[in-house]
Structure 1
Amino acid sequence: MNDSTTPDGQAIRVSVCLAAYKGSRFIEEQIDSILRDLGPDDELVVVDDASPDDTAEIVRGIRDPRIRFVGASVNKGYVRTFEHAVGMSRGEFIMLSDQDDVWIPGRVEIMLDALADHKIVAGNFDVLGGGPRPWIPRLRSSDSGRHLANLFAILIGYRAYYGCAMGIRRDALNYFVPIPSYVNESHDLWLAICGNVARSIRHLDESTVLRRLHDDNQTPAGWRSLVKIIKARLMIARLMFEAVRRVRPGS
């Protein structure tokens, strides 16, 4: 076998990249839902960001040859952990996953269909157990081609993309990685910016994941201070210039 094939010589189709940190409460349920949706020639790459709990032991205890696990010795934060997992991936299509959600059956095939003619795909989520979603509107497939409008909506905070419902083709990874060194949050917005600048992103009307909302979510649940909002908007503007630099020569 080589780096992009399974032990029986088949090309790896899908790589799911999961960043884990203190995920012992929910990670087994998350992984079970992913494995049920994957095929025999897919893989799940789990990078544990030096969790102080038994997250690593739980993942190692799941006996499935499709799981590739790496435990980091130093905590680097979830953005760098996702970057590490993506760097380890071998599949033609890469999908991101949080550690505490539940995938909706059929997610893989829906996203693969979108990635057949788009470099990046972004779906919606429903809340696990029901309950209200954040106030930002759901993505709509009809907005997929409104790239400038999408970029402006990202800049002002009106268009949300969630990494747990996103995927990317391998031939577009050079847009996404390496993730700029100044990015310590919102890797999903960076991926969406790349897709819109490349004019090759597909919004799905469907939800592809049931998102678990709890106190340990990395995505902020409430309003931020004005200073943090301004800093985040400036970072996003900077990312847009970086995406143009990366995408335009090869788009």
Structure 2
Amino acid sequence: MSDGARVSVCMATYNGSRYVRHQLLSILAELEPDDEVVVVDDASTDDTVAVVEGVGDPRVRVHVQPVNGGYVRAFESALQRASGDVLLLADQDDEWVPGRRAALVAAVRHAGVAASNLVVLGTGEPLRSPWSGRPWRLHSRASGHRLRNELRILAGDAPYFGCAMAIRRDALALVLPFPAFLDESHDLWIATLANRGRLLRHVDEATVRRRLHDANASSAQPRGIRPALRSRILLLRALGEAGRRLRASRSRATR
């Protein structure tokens, strides 16, 4: 039964021909006839674009970047091109869990951004925290724990993954454009903004099966000291930019 929302799935691809067809088929099985999949290919050097086009579904639209600009800008472009009421992010190499669309559409009816859990494809197990080694999960009861959520983000111990996120259209004006300094962790930017703006809702169930392989753009493993320090500085800048945008939005609303 239709829920009345038109969904846009926003995917960035780059040299993903090995897994992208499987992912697209798992997505399309979830979608309604009026939904769309917006794929932005980041100048792949393999046959990713041909594989995507070969799926042969009119709901899939492909836009090819002339030069490689990185996955953050590819996702930004996909979000900008989307026309749906609810925008679901998707990586090129995972698998959607049946019921994902319904769960996330329901969640964003009460929030601007929803973030669900995920499990590992093949095992069904959650990822493990890179610091404690315990199962890495979001809990719906902690959706409004803004300080705790932000501290977890800054510490690198918050399992916010873009592939498990949804954005309601009226929140997109805050999310976009991505900050110019953002060259990684677009998902943590979205989570930071939504958390600070009281727009974030956690979804207890896992809606994605994440494929782990040596070419994943994000890793659950701790990084070296220098990359980790750079990442923390980037996230502090993101926190500041989120505050600036939210203040500007409130100011416009009171005029």
Give the shorter-chain TM-score range.
over 0.9
Q: Structure 2: where are the runs of 5+ without partners?
A: 131-135, 251-255
**C-alpha deviation, 1:134, in angstroms:** 2.8
Calculate the TM-score normalised by the size of structure 1.
0.93
Preserved CA contact (<8 Å) 2:5 2:105: no
How far the C-alpha of 1:176 sits from its partner, in A, is 1.1
CA root-mean-square deviation: 1.4
SS at match of 1:123: strand
Partner of 1:236: 235
What secondary structure does 2:183 align onto? Answer: coil
- 2:199 aligns with 200
Matched, 1:133 2:127: yes
Deviation at 1:69, TM superposition (A): 0.8
Match of 2:102 among 103, 109, 123: 109
- Aligned equivalents of 2:128, 2:67: Cα separation in 1: 33
The 5 A counterparts of 1:76-115 are 76-115=69-108
Distance apart, 1:175 and its partner CA: 1.5
- Cα distance in 2 for partners of 1:246, 1:106 equals 33
* 2:110 counterpart SS class: coil
Structure 1 segment 52-63 matched on structure 2, within 5 A:
52-63=45-56
Whole-Å separation in 2 of the counterparts to 1:17 and 1:132: 24
Query: What's the counterpart of residue 119 of structure 1?
Result: 112
Q: 2: CA distance between counterparts of 1:12 and 1:88?
A: 17
- Maintained 8 Å contact 2:138/2:203: yes
CA pair 31-146 structure 1, distance change in 2 beyond 3 A = same
Q: What do residues 121-167 of structure 1 show as CA deviations (whole Å, max 9, x unaligned)?
A: 00011100015623252001010010121111111112120000001
Give a deviation string over 1:167-206, Cα, whole Å, max 9, x none.
1011111211111111111000000001101101110110
| Residue 52 to residue 12, structure 1, CA distance change in 2 (3 Å) | farther
Q: TM-score, normalised by structure 2?
A: 0.91
Q: CA deviation at 1:249?
A: 3.3
* Contact 1:16 1:94 survives alignment (8 Å): yes
Aligned pair count? 241
Contact 1:198 1:248 in 2 (8 A): no
Where does residue 226 of structure 1 map in the other structure? 225
User: What are structure 1's unaligned runs of at least 5 residues?
Assistant: 1-10
The equivalent of 1:151 in structure 2 is 150
SS of residue in 2 equivalent to 1:37? coil
